[in-house]
Structure 1
Amino acid sequence: MSQSNPNHRMVAAVLLALFGWETAVATVPDRDPQDQSAGFDVSWISNPEKVGDHKEAAHATYIPYASTEAMRQDTTFYSQPWTTPRSSRYLSLNGTWKFRYVAGTPQGPADTDALVAQSCNAEGWDEIRVPLSWEMAGYGGPVYTNVGYPFVYHPPLAQEGHAEADVKDDNATGFYSRTFTLPADWRDQRVFLHFDGLYSAGVVWVNGRYVGYTQSANTDAEFDLSGFLREGENQLSVRVYRWCDGSYIEGQDMWHLSGIHRDVYLYATPRVAVRDHFVQTDGLLSADATSGAMVLQLTVDNRDGLKAKKTIEAVLRDAEGQEVQRRQWVYQSTTTATEALRFDLKDLHPWTAESPYLYTIEVSQRNAKGREEMAFSTKYGFRTIRTEGHHLTINGRRVLFKGVNTQDTHPEYGRAIDVATMLQDVRMMKQANVNTVRTSHYPRQPKMYAMFDAFGLYVMDEADVECHYAGERGGNLSDRKEWRTAYLDRTERMVLRDRNHPSVVFWSLGNESGDGRNLQATYAFATAHGDGRPVHSSPWGSQGTPCSDLNSRMYPTVAEAQDYAHKPAYGYDRPMIFSEYAHAMGQAVGNLQDYWDIIEHPDNDYIIGGCIWDWVDQSVYRPSDLLRGVRTKNGFHNWVAGYDYNPTEFVGDGFQGNFLNNGIITPDRAWTAKLTEVKAVYAPAAFSDWDAATRSFTLRNKLAFSDLSDLYDLSYQLLRDGYVVEQQTLPLPAVPAGESAQIAVPYHSVLDAGAEYVLHLFLRLKAATSWADQGYPVAEGEMILQPRAPLAAHEAHGGRIEADAKRRLYTGTTQEGRPFSLQFDDSGKLVSWTFDGRAVMVKGPDFNSMRDIDNDRSQELQQMPMVSEAETRIVTQGGDEKGYTVTVEGRAANCLYTSRYTLYPDGVVDLQVVFSPTGPTRRLGLGMELAGFDQVAYYGRGPWSNYIDRMTGSYLGRYTTTVDEMIDENVHPQTFGDHQDLRDLILDHANGLRLSVATEGRVAFSLSHYDERQWCDPADQLWRDATHWYDLVRSETVFAHFDAFQRGLGNNSCGGDGCLDPYLCPTSGQLSYTLRFTPTVRQ
C-alpha cells in the first residue's frame, strides 16, 4: 500500500549517504548567553555557507497552551488556526516598532554597530508597522525585476544597487526596536522568538546582547531567548539587511522589497518539552485512505540535560470532536528523544480538496507530579498520493490539478499580507473552482497552509530558491558546493515545517534554477523526509531533470499540450504538469478552454493539470501617496508598476516594466472577466448535447470523488429574447464522479416563431460552505433551443424625409414631430447626425482596427497596422420619400469594405456593412464616436467582457451597466470591454436621448469614454510604456466599436500561443452585419 515510489526512496537514501544530510534535523547546541565573544560578523551576509547563527532547527508549527482546557477554550484558534491565538504562552510582537533607515554604500552596508549597543536608544527614531515592507512606508523605493537582480551581479556579494533598477540606496539597513513585558509566569519557561519571515537577513539583540543571525526571507527563524530575558520590560532590536548572499537565490519575478514582512511573536514552553511532531501515514494507509495506521513521532527537547520525567498523551479526535483513539508516552531521560506512537485506524473520512475533512490531534504534557504544563493541537487530514509511471492518484483516484501560481503581494503593505486578504484569496479561489495552489516561488506563512487544509486546496509547496539570472550568466549556483548549505536550509525548513499539512501534495525544489548537485541534495532530503509526496523541480527552459518525480513545462502551446497528452517528455515516463501556463497579463486568458479540452479528454494519459501565471496583479499603491492617505487619482487606483521605478530606457529582459501584472485578479482582489473564464473552464461539471426530441441534455461530473447530487442543486432559466420567461429547480439524480447523466428539462413554454430561446442551466451549492453561501452557482451552461430570426425589413410608420443631394444632407421629421438630420462629407463619411436637436454621433462610422493588449507582442502583429479611419468614396446615393440610401466604399490596411446606409422617414437608420479582408488584421469592424451616452442595456454575452477565445463563462442575457463600468481596469491601460454576440443595445443620455441598436449577423461591441489611441503602440511594446489609467483623458463622447470579428486574446505575453487559428481574423472572403439605429426621446 505504499504511496510513494520505492525507487525514489532508494535514490534518496543513496544521496543522503553521499551528502550526509541526516544531521539537518539536529537541535541547536547549548551556549552561554552571557558570552558575547562570538558576536555577529557582517561578513556573514556575503557568505553563502553561513545561513544562520544560534538559529533553532526546523520543526512543525505549533502554539503552546498552559493546559488542554485553555487550548479548547480558545475555540476560534482551535477550529481556525490562522487566527490570533489567545494563549497565555503566546505573545504577538506585531504592531508599532521604532525604526531607523540607513542607506548603504557601493562597498556594502554603512557602519552601524553603534545602533545596537548595550543601551540602544531609539529616541527620535521613526515608527513603522510590523509586518510591512519598509518601501511602502517611504524608505527607499520598490524595485521590480523579473530575471535580473536589483544589485550588481558579483556573487556572493550583493552590495551595489543596479543602475537599471534605479536603486539609489544600495544595500540599505533597517533598524527595528521595540519593548515588551515578559509575562510573570514565563519566568521558568523556555522562551522562543519567532519570525515568519524577513527580507533578507536579520541580526537579533535582546537587552543589548547579541542573540543570533538569520537569512532566507520566506522561511521561519527562531531563537531561544533563555538567559537573555529579565523580569518586566525587555528590549528587542533587529537589524535587517536589504540584501545578502541569499538574495542570489531569491531572484524571483516580483517586487524586491525589504524588512520584516511576516509575523513576529514569542512563545513559551517548559524547559523540557515536546518540540516537534510529525504525523506519518505514507505507506500506512489503504489506497483510498479509509483505513490503516498513523504514526505520530514526538520529539522531546532536553537541551539542558535535565533529569526529567514527562507523560505525553496524544488524542485523535474527529471533526465533531469525538475521541477516536489516544496514545501515551512516558519520557524519562536526560537527553533529547523521539518516540513513535502508532494509531491503527478504520472507517476514516479521507481528506480531499472536494471534501476537506480534518481531524484534530491534541498533544498534552504532564510533569512528574502529574500536573499538566503544556498542550497544543494540530489539524490533520488522511489522504494518499501515489505515482506509478506517468499516473498520479490521490486516495486511489486520478485528480486533475486546476491551479494558479500565487505571490505574497498587497497593494498597501507590499510583501506583507494580512489574514483578511489571505482569506479573501482562498475564498475567491474556491469560488472560481481553483483546486490547486503553487506557492511560487517560496513557502507561505504557516497560517495560510491551515486555510488550504480547511477550505480544500491542493498545494505545491515551493522552496525559496530561484537563480534564473545566475544561470544565464553561466554561474550555475545549483551545482556550486559553497551554496549547498543555503539550498538545503531552505528546503529542510519548508519540508519539516509543512509536512503535516494534508493540503501539501507536492514539494517543489524551487523555480528556474537549472540542475546540479545542490538540487540533488534537496531532492534527496524532500524524498526522505517529506512523507511520500512527489517532488517537483522547474529547470531552465523546456527540459527534464533527474531531481523530480514530475515532468514540468512552462507556457506550452496548445499544440504542444496535445503532444504531451499522449507520450512521455524529456525521456522520462512521468506525469506532466504545466507549472506555469496561460500567462494572465492584462487582457488575457484566451484559449484556456482549448487547453482543458485536451487535459480533460479521456485520451489524455500524461498531463495532470497546470497552474496559471498568476493569481493577482502585483502593483502597489504609490508609497508617497499612501503616506498622504491617497489611493486614487482621477477616479482610478493609484497603482504603480516596474516602469514607475526602472528608467524606461533600461526596460529589458531583467527589468520588464509592467511584467509583474500578470494576475487573474486586480491588486485589491476585485473579481474580473479573466476570473469568470477560469471559473467556467475549471468548473466541476459540464453541460452538453441538447436533444430537442427528448428535451434533455448531458451533465458530466468532472470531480474525482464526489457525486454531484450530494453537493449541488440543479436549476434552469428559459430566456425568450433574453428575458426570463420560466425558471425552476430540477431533480438531480446521482451522478458519480467521472460519470454522466441525461437530464430532462420539462419546460412548458411554447417556442414562438421569430423569437430566440436560450436554456440557461445552473449547478448551485446545496448548502453553505466556508467559502460561499447556499445557492452559489459553481457551474453554468447554456443551450440555444431556437436561434434568433433575421432582422425584419423595416417599415416606417409616418414621418417624412427629404434630401439635399448636393450637400449630402438628409433631413426629416418623425410622426411625433421630432426633427432629425444626417450629413455626409465628400468622401461618404457621416459627419453629423442629430435627433430632436440633440447630437447622436460626434464622428460617424469608419473602419477601425485599433487594438493593443499585452498579448499583442509577436512579430506577426507588428505587420498588422492599426488604423482608425479609411479612404472612402460615395458610390451611389438616391431614394424617395420612403427612404434614401447612401453606399460608400472604403479601403483600409488589409481590408476593403462597403457600407450601405438606409435612412427612413421615422428617423431609423440601417447600416449594412460587408468586409472583404485582404490580409491579417486585429479587428474587422467599424468605430464611431457617439454623443455622451452613459446608461447601457444590452442583449448579448455578459456581464463580464468576453472575446472569441474567452467566452466559456459568458452567457447570453440582458444586462444593464454604464459606459464607465464597462472598463476592465487592468493595471496597464489597453483595449478592453468586448462583448460577443450582440443582439440589441440601448444607450441613454442624460439629456433624454435614447439610441437603440438592433443587429443582424455576428456582432461584437465595446463602449468607452477613452480614446484608445492614448495607449495603442504601433511598435507593440505596450508592456514597456509607463501609462496609467489616471493619466488618460476622459472624453464625454463614447468611443464605440461594432466588430464583425476581433482577433482572439491568446497567451503570448510570455510564451504560449499568440492566437489560435480559429480565433484569427479571416484574411479572405467576406463578413457582413447589419446595424439598425433607432433614436428616440425618453418620456
Structure 2
Amino acid sequence: MLKKISVIAFAATMLTVSAAEDWENPAKFAEGRLPHRATAYPYPTAAEALKGDFKASIWYESLNGKWKFNYSAKPSERPKDFYLTGYDVSSWGDINVPGNWEMQGYGTPIYVNVGFGFLNRNPPFTTHDDNPVGSYKRTFDIPASWDGRKVFLHFGGSTSGMYVWVNGKKVGYVQSTKNPAEFDITPYIHQGKNDIACEVYRWTDGTYLEDQDFWRLSGLERDVYLYSTADQRIGDFFARAGLDGGYKNGTLDLDVDLLNYASGNAPVNVNAELFDAAGKKVWSATAKSDIVSNGEKTVNFKGTVRNVAKWSAEIPNLYTLVITLADKSGKTIESTSARVGFRSVEIKNAQLMVNGRPIEVHGVNLHEHHPIHGHTVDRETMMKDIRMMKRNNVNAIRTCHYPQSPMMYDLCDEYGLYVVDEANIEIHGMGVVHNYPDTTNHPAYHPAWRDCMLDREMALVERDKNHPSVITWSLGNEAGNGENFQIAYRWIKERDKTRPVQFEQADETWNTDIVCPMYPSIRYMKEYAARKNVTRPYIMCEYAHAMGNSSGNFQEYFDIIRSSPHMQGGFIWDWVDQGFLRQDEDGRSYWTYGGDYGARSYKNDGNFCINGVVNPDRTAHPGLYEVKKVYQDIRFAPDVKKGTITIENNFIHKDLSDYDFNWQILRDGKIVKNGTFAKVNALPGKTAVVKMPLDGVDLGDGAEYYFNIFANVRTGDDIIPAGHEQAREEVELSGHRTYKPAVAAAAPTVDETSNGWTVKAGNVEIFFNKEGWIRSYAADGRKLLSQGIAPSFWRAPTDNDWGNNAHKRLNAWRVAFDNSRVTSATLVKEGDVVKVVSMRDMPDVNCGLKTVYTVYGDGTLGVTESLVTHADARIPELMRFGTSIAMPKEYDNFTWYGRGPWENYSDRKHSSFVGVYSGKVADQYYPYIRPQESGNKTDVRWAELTDKDGFGIRVVGEGLLNVSALDVTPEALDPGMDKHNMHQNDVWPDAWNVYLNVDLAQRGLGGDNSWGAAPHAPYILTPKDYSYTYYLTPVTK
C-alpha cells in the first residue's frame, strides 16, 4: 500500500483544468475510491479460502441482477434527485446488471475505429447535447452477521463516468471503464433495507483515453458486489512466484498489506500457506505484526519450494496460496487466497524467455465481445474462446486494449495462455506517433492528464499482478508516446521487477522492453531479423489483419520469424468478429456491424469491427485453419529420398508422449494405406525420426502419391478432446500428371445453319452461335448448361480488396467482357476434332480474348482461353482469369480432386491438403458477415457437378486449376462501387442455377492490413498474356 500511495505524490504535478463538470475534468477521476488492489475475497476460515468459492463466502453479497433504470438522452434531462431515499422509481424500467444499456433497448450502439463517438474533439470537453445518462437504483439488505463490520462496494467496470450514492449520501465519483472501483460504504449503511444509486455518463473526459477499436457501449458492464471485513483486514498482497537460477526450485517473495481501520494499535498474526494441486501443503510461514491505529503495515515472506511444478501455457501447474490474518490470541479474523504459478519471465539474448526457454508467441488480440450482451462476457463464452484457441494452437492473448474481466485471467491461469495485459488507454483520435500528432492538447503529452493516465496503469498492475498467465504489461495502444507514458513505464518497472513492459508507440526508443510494432512491412521484418546486435525481441502487437476473407500469406510471416532467434511471433488482429445477432423481417439471423443501429448520424466505421478469425458465436473462419497449421508446435521435416520424416517438438516444456502420430498414403487423392506410428516421443526442443511405410507402394506406376501425417491428442480433456488433430503435414511423393484427352475413333459431325453450328460427338450435342458462343450443351438429351461458358475476370471484392481500392483500380475488368465485341468466329475441322475459334476485342482493358472450343470424337469439350495484351496496353492487374459455367440447379453435388476440404486461395493453402473431397454446392459458399468472394479451391486436378442420380459434368485441367461451385452469383456478393451495409441475409441462393467457376488463377487474399496493402507479389495477377486449357466431359454413375 505504501508504494501505491507514494506514486500518487510522484505524479502530482497536475495543471489546473477549468471545467464546470467532474466528467469534463481530468483531475476528477477517483473521488472516494479506495486504492487499487489485487482481485481477492475474504473468507471466514482458511479451509474456505482454500476451496476458493468466493460466492459461497458469508462475507460476499452479489448486487448483480435487476436494477431500476432510467435513460436520459442528455445530462440536462436526467432526474437530478433520483438518488434521494424517497425518490419514486416504480415507473422506471428494469435493466440487467452487469450489462450495457444499448444492448437492452436504450440508446444507440456506435462502432468507431478512430474517434470518440462524438464529433467535436476538444479535450477534456465532450458534448452536452448528446451525452446519454443512465440512472440506476436498487435496494439491498445488509446481513445481520455483518453488524459492526466494515462494508465495501465493488464495481468491476462502468462506462464511462459514474457517481455513486448510498441511502441518499454521495459516496464518490469514478472514471475508467475497464478498471474496478471500490468504496467504503460503512458510514452510509444501516441494518435492513438500504438503497444504492448510480449515475453513469456515456461520454466523459476519460473517453479521450478510451478510443479503442470497438463498439462504444455504456453502463455497469461488470460484476457489482458487496464484501465485508473486520476492522483489521488483508488489504492486498503481491505474490512474486518465480524460479531460482537453475529454473528448478520455486521462489516465493510475498508482500501482505495489512489495514487497521480502528483507533489503537492492533497486534496480529499473519500466516501464509501454499498448497499443491492435490491439496498438499508444501510451504508455510507465520509472522507477528502490529498495525498502527488507522494505518497499514506490509509483512514480507520469502520461501522456497523444491522441485516445483512450473507454470507455463503448455503445462499450467498451479498452487493455491492461502493467507490468514489472526488476532494476537490466534483467532482467525479473515482468510483470503489466490492461485499462483511458479514461472520466470525475462529477456535474455534479445529473447523473451519463460522458465529459461525462448517462447514463440502464437497470439491473438482479444476484445471483450458477446454477440448478444455486448461487452459483458460470461464464463461460457470465455470457455468457448479458450477451447477454440487451445485447439487451434493459439498460446497467447493481448487484452486489446484494456484489462478484461478477472475471470478471464483465472481461466488463462488454469488452462494455459500467455497474456499481454494492456492498460485502458488509447488516444487514437488525438493522433499517434507515426502520424505526427499535435501534442499541444494531446493527453499523452499534457501534465494535466498525468495522474488519471498513471492511475489506469496502476489499476492494471495492482489488480492483475498475481496472475502467472500475465507475462508482459502493455502501457496502452495507439496513444502517442508523451512524458506521461514514460512516467508510467518507470513506475511499472519499479513496482514489478518480474515482468517486461511493452509499448508499441515507443517503437525502438527506451520505454519498451520489447519491439512490438503493428502491421510492419515485410521489409522491416527482414531487416530486424538480420540484425546482429539487438537487445530486444521482436513480437508484433498486431499483424495479419483478418478482416473478411483474409489471412493470406500467413506462412510468409513465420518464414521470417523462424529465420532469427529474436523474432518471436505476434498477435493476430483479431480473434472474434465484433458482430451482434439480429433477425430480419423474414426471421433470418445475421450479424450486424457499424451503422446498423441507426447510427449513421454518428461517425461509424462500418464493418471494420469484423476482423476476427472466428465469428461472433466463436465458430471458425476458414482462415483459422491456416493459422492453426502455421502456429503448430509439432512440425515435420520430410526427406523423400530417404523416405523419412523428422518430427520436431517445438514445445518448450512438454514432450510428445500424449500424441498419436497417424499417417495415410493417398493415390490420386484417395487413401490406399493408413496407420499409426508406434511409440513416437521427443523431449521439448528435440526431434524423432520415423520412416514412411512405403513398402508395396509403386511410386512409378504413373499415379500421383501423397503422404500425410497427423498429430492427434491421445488422452484429452474438456479443453482438447481425445483424438483432436493438433498438427498436420503433407508430403508430395510423386508429382502431378498433365492431362490430355483420349482421341476417339469417330470424328464429330457438324450441322451448320444461319444461326450457328450444331456439333455432335458420342452422346454429346453442342450448339455454337455464329459468334462462337456455346448456347447449349447436352448429353443423352439432358441439358447440362443453363447459359454459355462465360469468361470471368472479376470477383466480388474482399474487404482487403476494398481496402486497397481494387474495386476502383481494377474496375475495368468488372465490365471487360460485357463491353467486348466479337471480331471473328470460325469453325474448323482439324483431323478428328472440331474447333470453334473466336476473337474478342475488350476496349475497357485494351486486350484481346481468344477462345478455342475443341470437340473430340467421344464428346469431350476442350476449352482454351487466352488473354492477349496489346503491346502499348496500360491495364491493371486482374482479379481472376477464368470462366464461369452456369448449370441447372439440380446439379448440386460437388466433388473435386484438389486442395480442401475448406476453401483455400493461392496465398492461404498450407493447411489444405490435396485429396478427393465431396459436398453439397450449397455448403461451398462461406457466409462472411459482409458478403464477398468465397469458396475457392486451389490446385484442382478435376471437379464434378452431378445430380442425385450421379449424372453431370466433369472438368479436368490440363494443368492445375482454381475451382469453385456456388449457388450464388458474384453479382449477388458485390455491392458495386459503394460499400454499403450488406449482410448474410441479403444473399439468397439463385433460384435456377449453380455456378461452376473454373479459373487458371485468382488474385491472392492478402492480409498484411485491410487499408491499402495488396497481396504479396507472387499472388498478384499482373497484366500480361495468360492462357490455359481444361476439358469438359459428361459423367454418368
Question: Per-residue deviation at 1:904?
Answer: 5.0
Offset from partner CA, 1:395-425 (integer Å, 9 cap, x none): 1121121211111112211111111111111
Alignment partner, residue 262 of structure 1: 222
Question: Per-residue deviation at 1:631?
Answer: 7.2
Identify the match of residue 713 of structure 1 among 641, 657, 660: 660
- One-letter amino acid of the counterpart of residue 1005, structure 2: L
User: Secondary structure of the residue that 1:113 maps to in structure 2?
Assistant: coil
Alignment partner, residue 1029 of structure 2: 1073
Closer/same/farther in 2, CA of residues 934 and 269 from structure 1, 3 Å limit: farther
- One-letter amino acid of the counterpart of residue 882, structure 2: G
Matched residues in 2 for 1:90 and 1:1076: separation? 73
Q: Does 1:147 align with 2:111?
A: no
Alignment partner, residue 989 of structure 2: 1034
- One-letter amino acid of the counterpart of residue 698, structure 1: T
Instruction: Answer whether contact 1:802 1:880 (CA < 8 A) is retained.
Output: no
Question: Per-residue deviation at 1:1058?
Answer: 1.3
Question: Per-residue deviation at 1:990?
Answer: 5.6
Question: Per-residue deviation at 1:858?
Answer: 2.8
Q: Does 1:853 align with 2:842?
A: no
Identify the match of residue 498 of structure 1 among 464, 469, 473: 464
Identify the match of residue 1019 of structure 2 among 1063, 1075, 1080: 1063
Alignment partner, residue 905 of structure 2: 947
Instruction: Answer whether contact 2:661 2:680 (CA < 8 A) is retained.
Output: no
Closer/same/farther in 2, CA of residues 1003 and 850 from structure 1, 3 Å limit: same
Alignment partner, residue 434 of structure 2: none
Alignment partner, residue 100 of structure 1: 70
Offset from partner CA, 1:938-978 (integer Å, 9 cap, x none): 22211221111111111112323222322222211111111
Alignment partner, residue 862 of structure 2: 910
- Give the TM-score of the pair, scaled to structure 1: 0.87
Question: Per-residue deviation at 1:379?
Answer: 1.0
Q: Does 1:924 align with 2:881?
A: yes
Alignment partner, residue 60 of structure 2: 90
Alignment partner, residue 199 of structure 1: 159
Show the 5 A alignment for 1:423-438. Answer: 423-438=383-398
Alignment partner, residue 518 of structure 2: 554
Matched residues in 2 for 1:61 and 1:698: separation? 46
Identify the match of residue 961 of structure 2 among 1003, 1011, 1017: 1003
Alignment partner, residue 16 of structure 2: none
Q: Does 1:1047 align with 2:1003?
A: yes
Matched residues in 2 for 1:822 and 1:636: separation? 43
Show the 5 A alignment for 1:159-170. Answer: 159-160=126-127, 170=130
Matched residues in 1 for 2:896 and 2:469: separation? 43
- One-letter amino acid of the counterpart of residue 351, structure 1: W
- One-letter amino acid of the counterpart of residue 590, structure 1: G
Question: Per-residue deviation at 1:536?
Answer: 0.9
Matched residues in 2 for 1:288 and 1:767: separation? 31
Show the 5 A alignment for 1:757-796. Answer: 757-794=705-742
Matched residues in 2 for 1:242 and 1:838: separation? 65
Identify the match of residue 833 of structure 1 among 766, 774, 777: 777
- One-letter amino acid of the counterpart of residue 931, structure 1: P
Q: Does 1:667 align with 2:616?
A: yes
Closer/same/farther in 2, CA of residues 1077 and 129 from structure 1, 3 Å limit: farther
Matched residues in 2 for 1:136 and 1:917: separation? 55
Structure 2: 5+ residue runs without aligned partners?
14-18, 432-436
Alignment partner, residue 27 of structure 1: none
- One-letter amino acid of the counterpart of residue 206, structure 2: G
Instruction: Answer whether contact 1:281 1:531 (CA < 8 A) is retained.
Output: no
Alignment partner, residue 29 of structure 1: none
Question: Per-residue deviation at 1:618?
Answer: 1.0
Closer/same/farther in 2, CA of residues 546 and 1009 from structure 1, 3 Å limit: same
Identify the match of residue 528 of structure 2 among 564, 568, 575: 564
Matched residues in 1 for 2:887 and 2:970: separation? 15
Closer/same/farther in 2, CA of residues 812 and 346 from structure 1, 3 Å limit: same
Instruction: Answer whether contact 2:646 2:689 (CA < 8 A) is retained.
Output: yes
Question: Per-residue deviation at 1:190?
Answer: 2.2
Alignment partner, residue 680 of structure 1: 629
- One-letter amino acid of the counterpart of residue 1042, structure 1: V
Question: Per-residue deviation at 1:814?
Answer: 6.0
Alignment partner, residue 38 of structure 2: 60
Identify the match of residue 755 of structure 1 among 703, 721, 726: 703
- One-letter amino acid of the counterpart of residue 910, structure 2: T
Offset from partner CA, 1:222-255 (integer Å, 9 cap, x none): 1122133333333222111111110110011111
Matched residues in 2 for 1:656 and 1:411: separation? 18
Show the 5 A alignment for 1:14-33. Answer: 20-21=9-10
Offset from partner CA, 1:10-66 (integer Å, 9 cap, x none): xxx9x9999843999xxxxxxxxxxxxxxxx98211110111111111111112222
Closer/same/farther in 2, CA of residues 109 and 356 from structure 1, 3 Å limit: farther
Matched residues in 1 for 2:744 and 2:146: separation? 90
Identify the match of residue 87 of structure 2 among 94, 109, 120: 120
Closer/same/farther in 2, CA of residues 191 and 1075 from structure 1, 3 Å limit: farther
Question: Per-residue deviation at 1:834?
Answer: 3.7
Instruction: Answer whether contact 1:47 1:156 (CA < 8 A) is retained.
Output: no
Question: Per-residue deviation at 1:392?
Answer: 2.6
User: Secondary structure of the residue that 2:892 maps to in structure 1?
Assistant: strand
Identify the match of residue 644 of structure 2 among 687, 696, 718: 696
User: Secondary structure of the residue that 1:114 maps to in structure 2?
Assistant: coil
Q: Does 1:467 align with 2:438?
A: no
Closer/same/farther in 2, CA of residues 128 and 266 from structure 1, 3 Å limit: same
Alignment partner, residue 81 of structure 1: none
- One-letter amino acid of the counterpart of residue 55, structure 1: R
Identify the match of residue 677 of structure 2 among 709, 724, 730: 730
Offset from partner CA, 1:377-400 (integer Å, 9 cap, x none): 211111111124633322112112
Closer/same/farther in 2, CA of residues 876 and 490 from structure 1, 3 Å limit: same
Instruction: Answer whether contact 2:823 2:841 (CA < 8 A) is retained.
Output: no
Alignment partner, residue 853 of structure 2: 901
Closer/same/farther in 2, CA of residues 114 and 566 from structure 1, 3 Å limit: same
Instruction: Answer whether contact 2:161 2:174 (CA < 8 A) is retained.
Output: yes
- One-letter amino acid of the counterpart of residue 833, structure 1: Y
Matched residues in 1 for 2:731 and 2:509: separation? 46
Show the 5 A alignment for 1:642-653. Answer: 642=595, 645-647=598-600
- Give the TM-score of the pair, scaled to structure 2: 0.91
Question: Per-residue deviation at 1:512?
Answer: 1.1
- One-letter amino acid of the counterpart of residue 786, structure 2: V
User: Secondary structure of the residue that 1:425 maps to in structure 2?
Assistant: helix
Alignment partner, residue 145 of structure 2: 185
Alignment partner, residue 600 of structure 1: 562
Matched residues in 1 for 2:187 and 2:695: separation? 81
Closer/same/farther in 2, CA of residues 359 and 342 from structure 1, 3 Å limit: same
Identify the match of residue 420 of structure 1 among 371, 380, 390: 380
- One-letter amino acid of the counterpart of residue 842, structure 1: S
Matched residues in 2 for 1:758 and 1:464: separation? 50
Q: Does 1:342 align with 2:321?
A: no
Instruction: Answer whether contact 2:445 2:481 (CA < 8 A) is retained.
Output: yes
Question: Per-residue deviation at 1:615?
Answer: 0.9
Structure 1: 5+ residue runs without aligned partners?
1-12, 25-40, 79-83, 162-168, 623-629
Closer/same/farther in 2, CA of residues 281 and 772 from structure 1, 3 Å limit: closer
User: Secondary structure of the residue that 1:855 maps to in structure 2?
Assistant: helix
Closer/same/farther in 2, CA of residues 636 and 17 from structure 1, 3 Å limit: closer
Instruction: Answer whether contact 1:999 1:1075 (CA < 8 A) is retained.
Output: yes
Alignment partner, residue 537 of structure 1: 503
Alignment partner, residue 396 of structure 1: 356
- One-letter amino acid of the counterpart of residue 273, structure 1: R
Alignment partner, residue 484 of structure 1: 450
Matched residues in 1 for 2:189 and 2:673: separation? 72
Offset from partner CA, 1:352-394 (integer Å, 9 cap, x none): 1111111111223334454434333211111111124633322
Offset from partner CA, 1:498-541 (integer Å, 9 cap, x none): 1111111111111111122211121112111124211111228x
Question: Per-residue deviation at 1:619?
Answer: 1.8
User: Secondary structure of the residue that 2:939 maps to in structure 1?
Assistant: coil
